[in-house]
Structure formats: C-alpha cells, structure tokens
Structure 1
Amino acid sequence: MAQDESLFIGASRKPDDSYQSSEQLLLKYANRHGLVTGATGTGKTVTLQILAEGFSNAGVPVFCADVKGDLSGIAVMGEAKDFLLKRAETIKLDPYEFQEFPVIFWDLFGEKGHPVRTTVAEMGPLLLSRLMNLSDAQEGVMNIAFRIADEEGMALLDMKDLQAMLADIAERADEIGRTYGNVSKASVGAIQRSLLVLEQQGGNHFFGEPALKIADLMRTTRDGRGAINVLAADKLMMNPRLYSTFLLWLMSELFEELPEVGDPDRPRLVFFFDEAHLLFDEAPKALVDRVEQVVRLIRSKGVGVYFVTQNPLDVPDTVLSQLGHRIQHALRAYTPREQKAVKTAAETFRPNPDFDCAEAITQLGVGEALVSTLEAKGIPSMVQRTLIRPPASRLGPIDDGERKEVMAISPVAGQYDENVDRESAFEMLQKKAAAAAKAEEEAARREEEDDHGDSGRRGRWTLPDFDDDDDDDRRSSRRTSTRSRTTTTRRRSSNRQGVAEAAIKSVVRSVGTQVGRAIVRGILGSLKKGR
C-alpha cells in the first residue's frame, strides 16, 4: 500500500513544452470534494480511473458509476502498450508498474453485479416526495401513509407495499381525515402515477430486501487497500429518475449513518458522481437544495464527493462553490452555451501567468487537463496544464467471464444475490381485505338464515296465543297486523269465534300448569262432542 500523503495526478507542462513538476492531490484535503469535466472523448474516464486507483492504494474505499463499461478494467492488471509506456516516460513516472485492484461490482438490475436494494421505509417520505416532485398536499399524504404504516406495524419494503398502503388510506379517507387531515383521492392518484413512472424505470428492482449495508461499501483488504465499488450504470443511464434516486439515497445514507470525524488525514470514502447532469436536469429546487446540503455537510463525515460531467454548467452554482479540486479536460466552443461554459470554467481557476486559461481549455489534447487542487491551508493551487498519468490497471472493459470471476471471489458474494420477499404491508393488507370479505359473507349468510327462520315460523300452524314465551314480539306484531285487516275479514273471524271459545281463551291465559292444560283439552273435547 502506498504510504504517501498525496495522489499523483500527472505532470504539469512548462512554457518550453517540457513536463517537470508533478501535480498532486493531498489526501488531507480529499474530502473537500471535486469536479472532473470535459467533452466526450477527452479522457474523463481515465482520470476517474487513476484517481480511484490512487485512493485504493492509499487505503480509501471508492464508489463510482461505470457508465460505458470502460471502468470495469480496473479489476484486472494492466497491459504494457506503447502509448502508455510513452506517456509514463514523458511525465517521468518511474517505476510504472501494472496491478489489479480489489473491485466489487454492483448493479441495480442484478445483471452485471451484485444487486443493490434499499427499502421504501429507509428511503423515507421526504426524499421520495422530493424525487417525485410532489406538491405540498401530495407530500402530506405520503407522510400520512408512512405514519399509519408505522402505527399499524406494517413494514414498507418494496413498491407494492407503498402502492397498497396508499390505496388503503384512500379507502379510509374519512376515518383518517378526522385525525391526520384531508386525504383526497386526487392526491393519492397523483402519487400512484409518479410511482408507476419510477416502477417502469426499474424501481421495483431497487426497492426490496436484503437492503444494502453501507459498511459493505467501505471495505478494505488485508493488505490495506480500499475496495473500489463499481456500479454498472450502462442500463441505468436509460432510467435517469432511478439513477438520481439511487445516488441521492446513497449520499443521504452516508450522511445519516457515518459519525462526525472532522478533517481526518485521509477520507473514509470517496464518491464519484459520473454523468452528474442527470442528477440536476429538471430537478426541483427542493432536490437541488438537498444535494447542496449533503455536499456541504458530508465533508465532516470524512466523505469526499467528486462530480464527473461534460460541462461545468451542468452543476448548479450552489454546489459548484463547494468543490475545491478541479480537473478540466478539453471543451469545445462551437455554440454560445459552450463558449459560456469555457468562460465559466476559466474564471473558476486561480490564474497562471504562463498561459491564457480560456484559450488553453479549447486546445487541450486527449489525456490533458487543467488541474487545480487544494494546497496547504486549503488554498487552491495555481492552475497547471497537466498530462494525466497512465493507469496501472487495464484500460478498457473486461469480458463477461472475467466479470464473473471477480464476482465469485467478492466479499459480498451470496449476500445480496437472492431477493427476499417477507411479509410486509402488501401481504398484511391482503389478509385484512380477505378477512373483511369473509366476515361480510358470513354476516350475509346469517341474515339469510334468519330470514328463512322467520318465514318458517310464520307458516307454522298454532292455536291462538300458544307460542313460546320468547315469541311475544312476534305475537304482538301479528295481533297488530290482525287488527289492521279489512272489515270483512274481522266479521268472518268474529262469526267463527263463539262465546264458549272466548271463555276458554280466558281460562287458558290464567292457567300455567300441566293440570290447567289438561282441563282445557277436556273442555275442547266436550265441545267437539256437543257439536
């Protein structure tokens, strides 16, 4: 492991076109963040590669996104090629040694690396709302959903959990509104549509378990080198919302989990945002404010953040002002916007009297860059025209076989590869709905049985007022109904009832024993004989 206190970036070019002094990045100030910019094909990826190599050799773990697949070569030993050897000789890099580096491949889709997942609960309502650009009312509904899920013990792990929870609170809107405020179906519908966009971009791969442990990104090897975590981002680039969701979540997790360390002698982790413009394109102000806040405060956690993008104008001024290290590759000035970018980049450097910075930016060759880093006491160094050093690992991508070999010996092999779908809000709400449906069906069945029972009782033949005691209500109802019949019916009933039967009914009402009932049967028998 290298014991130096700085990383060798390259050799600076002097007015006589010789390369004598070297440009260094002091590890003590590496957590002050940085910016690597330049047009396509000017060497940004190689610069990112040599920085990652240097940090790894210094014992600092690295996380970076591999947009085109070229960065994967850092996992295998480099090969001696004429142009690499020539550059090493030009900048007096002696010895120029090749080596392979400890790499862990990650992939949100689980195809070219170990899957990266987090839970909806860990993402939180605030970050999700900002990423989906929800209105205040919609953000309030999102907070209510998380609050109720927590109170009712329903874990929000994946997207279907959150979608089911939102549907549930929409159905219970009246009940919930009395405690937490209005939950409109329009707001729930808008959130569901935003979630659908995120899901179609691959959000269902990102949300779930097992969730990524931040500690697994901060591993070091037995020989003291820092692990280089490479995120396969070629497919992810086609889903910008998911990419920005992941990057911002990861930075937020680092900020929340890591303790304060002040200014250590070297960073605890270095984080590279490749294609950084995807994080800010059409981003709501609340989201940009969050990025600025994290970048400003995460330095005290010992984390360095480096943005890699084509144009310095891609990064908002509020974030740009926090970046102490600058590596500017060539820019073209064919359009008014590009001309403005060249001017902006030139003005951010500490001037060098040996050359015109704005002119030099448009004349840099492949592998050349204007470099300014923080020197002693955190003062920016004078900008230098620098030839970037050649990498020690392979320049270019590795094949699928080599990637599988690296993944097989990974320290996290088998830890994240299988998705775990334990019982959470979606399953619990399904059971709740099934139980409610069963209870409703049972109630309907009992009601139907009761209706059939009443109908049987009404059709049963009995003598007047000979029903059971518990049928008093029914007898009262029937007597009321009988009194309300037509006059003709009352007349026929009166003709059939004789004086003797009226007397018998009076006797029966006053008799409650077996003897009384026997006497009644005897009287009835004598009446029949008399007839």
Structure 2
Amino acid sequence: MASQQEFIERIQKSYSPKGEYIYLGAGMLDGTICADAKINLALKMMNRHGLIAGATGTGKTRTLQLIAEQLSNAGVPVFMLDVKGDLSGLNKPGESNANIEERVKALDIAFTPSGFPVELYSLSGKIGAQMRATISEFGPVLLGKILDLNDTQTGVLAAIFKYADDNKMALVDFNDLKKLLSYLSEGNGAQEIKDTYGKISSSTSGTILRKIVGLEQMGLSQMFGEKSFDIEDLFQKVDGKGLISLLNISDVQDQPSLYSTFLLSLLAEIFYNMPEVGDLDKPKLVFFFDEAHLLFKNSSKAFLDQIEQVIRLIRSKGIGVFFCTQAATDVPESVLGQLGNRVQHALRAFTPNDVDALRKTVKTYPASDFYQIDKVLTSLGTGEALITVLNDKGIPTEVAAVHLIPPTAVMGPMSESECKALMQSSDLYKKYQEIIDPISAYEILTQKIEDKLKADQAVAEAKEASAPRSNGRVEKSTFEKVMNATITRQIGREIVRGLFGMITGKKTSKKSGSFLGF
C-alpha cells in the first residue's frame, strides 16, 4: 500500500489546475484526512459536465450548495432545482457550530460566513417568480411527456402543432390548445385537415383534453403563457457574484415528469439560443439537474438520443450541466459517458439491486493505487465523497476519497416571511407577475368560426330573399384583419422546430405583448 506522503504528492500533482478553480476538500487515506492533499476542480473544465450521486442522507444537497457558492464567488451564474425549498438559505450567511468547527480544523481552513445573490422561481408562481413558456415554444414532444401521452397521442399532438405552425397561429396557453384541438376534431376543422394532416379520433382528442384539464385542476396552467421566461435572466451577476437561480418545486413534488421536463425544455432553449464560444476560462452558466433519474425514467430511445445530443453539444456554448441522483446507474450510459467530473457519495448495499448498482458504479471509476473502490463507496460518511474530475488537459485525475468543505451560507430554508420579502424586492418577480393575453389561436379560431356562421347565414338569407348583391366595397372580416395585421405577420414567418419539437428562434418583446420572432 502506498504511503501517505506518496498519496499527498500524487493528489497535489493531479489536482493543481493552472487557472481558476473551486476547492472541494481534502483527500483521505486509511481514514486520515490529509489537509495538504487539496482537491480542486478547474473552472475551465466545468463545461465538461458532471455527476453528483449518492444514497439519501449522504450530503448530496450540501455538495450542490458548496459548489454553487464557489461558482457564484467566481462570477459564474448558477441554476439549481430546489426540491424541498431548503436551498433558499444560500441568500444568508451561515453560522458556525461544533460540527463546522471540527470540519474546518481537520481541513486546516478558515470558515467565513457568506450570503449569495439568490432569485427564487416556481412553476406555480406562489413561491417565486413565475416561470412560463408558451405552448408553441414548448413543442409537442415535451408537452406529450408532461401530459403522459402515448406515442399515438403524441403524434396527434405533433400534427396539431404542425397545423398551427402552417396557419400562423401562435399557441400561447392551454386555452389555445384546447380550442384548436376541439376545432380540428369535429365539424369543418376535421374536414379541413383530413387529407393533409389526417383525421383525429374523438377518443384521442378526448384523452388529450382530459389530460390538459387535469393539469389545470392542479393549478399548473399558469406555467404556460406570456410573459414567457427569458433565459438571459439566468446570466446575471450581482456585485460581481454570479446569480444563483433556484426553481422551488416543493409545491409540485408529486409531479416529477412536469418539473423534470420543464427543466429539460429550459436547457434545450439555452442550447438553441446561446452562441458558440468554444473553451472558456470559466463557464457562462452551470446548470444543476437534481432528481435526474426522473428525466430518464420511461423515456423512449429517440427522446434519450435527443437529450444526449443536447448534453454533448451544449458545452461548446460555455454551459456546464451537473446531474444529481442516487446512483450512476440512473443515468443512461450514453449520457454518463459525457460527464467528466464525478462526485460519488456513499452507496448502500442492502439489497441485490443495491449490490448490482455498486458493482456497476465501481466499473465507471479509473483504477486506484490507494483504494478498493467498492469498500470505500460503502464506508463513506456524511459529507464525504469519492471524487475524480478532469484536469487542465481533460485527463481524469486520481480517484480520491474526500472530506468536503462546509458551505458558508445557511444550510436550510429561509423563513416564509424572508422568502416573501425577497420576492417582493425582486425586479424579476415583478417582471413575470405580468400576464399578457396576445392575439393567438383561441382568438383567431373563435373569429373564424363566427365569420363562417355569419357567412353561412348570409348565404341562406340571400337564397331565401333572392336579394341582389351590393356593388359597394366588401369589408374584410375580422379574421382577415387579424391575419393581415402587422403583429400577426411578425409571428407568421416560417417556423423551425428542432430537438423535442421546440421552436429554435429567439423571442422578442413587442409593445402589445411578448411574441415569438423568427
């Protein structure tokens, strides 16, 4: 077995980046904390993505917090999913206690309490600034996943989106989608699409409508509409520190497909709209995807292939993505292979499935001269992890069992009154409180139906009265006026959809509302 001095020298050589870095903790050997064996993660390698894994209660959330804190200090904005609402304490300086004092003494570091700029978001709008997307932006594939539709139903949804795109109808909220679905599944609308798009059965349209109504009854319809979220708001800095944006999902925890899919849509939008920047000294944004297993659960191969493509290509946009889950086996191999930085907390081996997961996880780590990795993974304590990252040259570092540093902000939630005060003082909270109801599919179809009824009635009356036609100028219908209006022409250019059926163009704000520009 290698000596402690050899271990320290190897760690120092492996974990000493030339540029800016974040400090994770000190290496451990045979249960001894070696303060000089410092474990650093180069900022320039954080767009090579990462994995933070471990059993419940092993300290994953606090690892997320300490990494987010140091990224913020380095001027790098962070986006995080706050599953239980207990990361909001990042806004306030922490307080020392006996456990922290013992930890910093062992690591030979100072504890300096610090708070960080935090923005609170939510999908319901009740516990943070409202995060929204328009139905058109979201696309049929991701919406089908949220609604838990099967392949046939998702295919029908795709045809509906295609009709809306071809006919220059913006789908802003569920009212638009319900109106269009009803129109295309019966009467004149069904005849209109029969040859070009295919017939929509009443059972399929009824199922989709029931799923939509189900989400509305949960109070989640407001996550679709205007103003839709502007991704530029994630890239802000405050007093030189990167903004930490927290999406609080404590009120929708029982809807995992909802928030995991919404996160993916946000990541895909960032991918579409951010320019290529190549390798930077530090990332432009780091995106932490907590409860990552929910994203991959029951997903089709085509869906997983598209996720893989986003993760593979988004690093060239200067974006780092870290998945957080219980076991490395929760992440498909095609995605796991792209995660260069690994922080593995303790694993348990209580069941045959646990043993199998442990065996597979061990195989994903480089061989070590200092550890039997399977034994280390089952013996790590809370706040300890097995780590390997990429060095400056993109080469995996030595595997090290690490005693992690403590976060410097509060390790827990803010009080309800503090959260309300933070929200009320936020410019972004005020920005997304505004609800806009632009001219969209609902208004266009309503007027189209009314005009058709009036036209039919006029024809009937003309036949009945045999009255001569007027030689005066024919007034355009309201529908024609809407379709020829300047604002409609601006949203009516060719629509291009990319991965997940999402619109690839950027959004621009108009005086009369926020519309899509292509």
TM-score, normalised with respect to structure 2: 0.81
Paired letter, 1:216: D
Q: Which residue of 2 aligns with 1:469?
A: none
Show CA shifts across 1:350-400 (max 9, x none).
232222111111111111111111113111112111111011111111101
Q: Which residue of 1 aligns with 2:192?
A: 175
CA distance in 1, matches of 2:152, 2:401: 52
Q: Which residue of 2 aligns with 1:113?
A: 128
CA distance in 1, matches of 2:260, 2:29: 41
Show CA shifts across 1:437-490 (max 9, x none).
44555666677778xxxxxxxxxxxxxxxxxxxxxxxxxxxxxxxxxxxxxxxx
Show CA shifts across 1:141-187 (max 9, x none).
33332233234332210112112112212232222223344444454
Q: 1:358 aligns with which of 368, 371, 374?
A: 374
CA distance in 1, matches of 2:386, 2:318: 26
Paired letter, 1:326: R
CA distance in 2, matches of 1:116, 1:197: 20
Q: How does 1:344-355 map to 2 (within 5 A)?
A: 344-355=360-371
2:85 is equivalent to residue 69 of structure 1: yes
Paired letter, 1:383: V
CA distance in 1, matches of 2:122, 2:131: 6
Paired letter, 1:262: G
CA distance in 1, matches of 2:100, 2:45: 29
Answer yes or no: is the 8 Å Cα contact 1:63–1:272 preserved in 2. yes
2:45 is equivalent to residue 29 of structure 1: yes
CA distance in 1, matches of 2:31, 2:122: 47
2:205 is equivalent to residue 188 of structure 1: yes
Show CA shifts across 1:238-259 (max 9, x none).
1122112201101110110011
Matched residue count: 447
Q: 168-177 or 45-54, which moves further after superposition?
A: 168-177
CA distance in 2, matches of 1:341, 1:392: 33
Paired letter, 2:223: F
Q: Which residue of 2 aligns with 1:498?
A: none
Answer yes or no: is the 8 Å Cα contact 2:51–2:339 preserved in 1. yes
Q: 1:256–1:398: structure 2 CA closer, same or farther, 3 Å change rule?
A: same
Deviation at 1:200, TM superposition (A): 4.8
Q: Which residue of 1 aligns with 2:162?
A: 147
CA distance in 1, matches of 2:407, 2:273: 33
Q: Which residue of 1 aligns with 2:404?
A: 388
Q: Which residue of 2 aligns with 1:230?
A: 246
Q: Which residue of 2 aligns with 1:315?
A: 331
Q: Which residue of 1 aligns with 2:315?
A: 299
Q: 128-137 or 316-325, which moves further after superposition?
A: 128-137
Show CA shifts across 1:327-371 (max 9, x none).
111111101111112222222122322221111111111111111
Answer yes or no: is the 8 Å Cα contact 1:44–1:329 preserved in 2. yes
Q: 2:261 aligns with which of 239, 245, 249?
A: 245
CA distance in 2, matches of 1:441, 1:343: 74
Q: Which residue of 2 aligns with 1:157?
A: 172
Q: 1:17–1:163: structure 2 CA closer, same or farther, 3 Å change rule?
A: same
Q: 1:200–1:19: structure 2 CA closer, same or farther, 3 Å change rule?
A: farther
CA distance in 2, matches of 1:295, 1:265: 19
Structure with greater proportional helix content? 1
Q: 174-183 or 351-360, which moves further after superposition?
A: 174-183
CA distance in 1, matches of 2:152, 2:50: 37
CA distance in 1, matches of 2:163, 2:231: 28
Q: How does 1:17-96 map to 2 (within 5 A)?
A: 17-20=32-35, 21-94=37-110, 96=111
Q: How does 1:94-493 map to 2 (within 5 A)?
A: 94=110, 96-129=111-144, 138-171=153-186, 172-200=189-217, 203-221=220-238, 223-440=239-456
Q: Which residue of 2 aligns with 1:482?
A: none
SS where residue 236 of structure 1 aligns?
coil
Q: 85-94 or 382-391, which moves further after superposition?
A: 85-94
Q: 298-307 or 420-429, which moves further after superposition?
A: 420-429
SS where residue 97 of structure 1 aligns?
coil
SS where residue 376 of structure 1 aligns?
coil
Deviation at 1:193, TM superposition (A): 4.3
Paired letter, 1:207: F
CA distance in 2, matches of 1:291, 1:425: 30
Answer yes or no: is the 8 Å Cα contact 1:4–1:58 preserved in 2. no
SS where residue 80 of structure 2 aligns?
strand
2:28 is equivalent to residue 13 of structure 1: yes
Answer yes or no: is the 8 Å Cα contact 1:173–1:184 preserved in 2. no
Answer yes or no: is the 8 Å Cα contact 2:145–2:257 preserved in 1. no
Gaps of 5+ in 2: 1-17, 467-518
Q: 1:135–1:15: structure 2 CA closer, same or farther, 3 Å change rule?
A: closer
Q: 1:207–1:316: structure 2 CA closer, same or farther, 3 Å change rule?
A: same
Show CA shifts across 1:390-449 (max 9, x none).
111111111012112222333413100132223321122223333434455566667777
Q: 187-196 or 82-91, which moves further after superposition?
A: 187-196
Q: Which residue of 2 aligns with 1:512?
A: none
CA distance in 1, matches of 2:379, 2:388: 18
Q: Which residue of 2 aligns with 1:529?
A: none
Q: 1:413–1:18: structure 2 CA closer, same or farther, 3 Å change rule?
A: closer
Q: What do you get for the CA RMSD once the two structures are aligned?
A: 2.4
Paired letter, 2:50: G
SS where residue 415 of structure 1 aligns?
helix
Show CA shifts across 1:38-73 (max 9, x none).
111111110000000011111111000111121111
Show CA shifts across 1:265-286 (max 9, x none).
1111100111111112222222
CA distance in 2, matches of 1:136, 1:16: 52
Identity %: 44
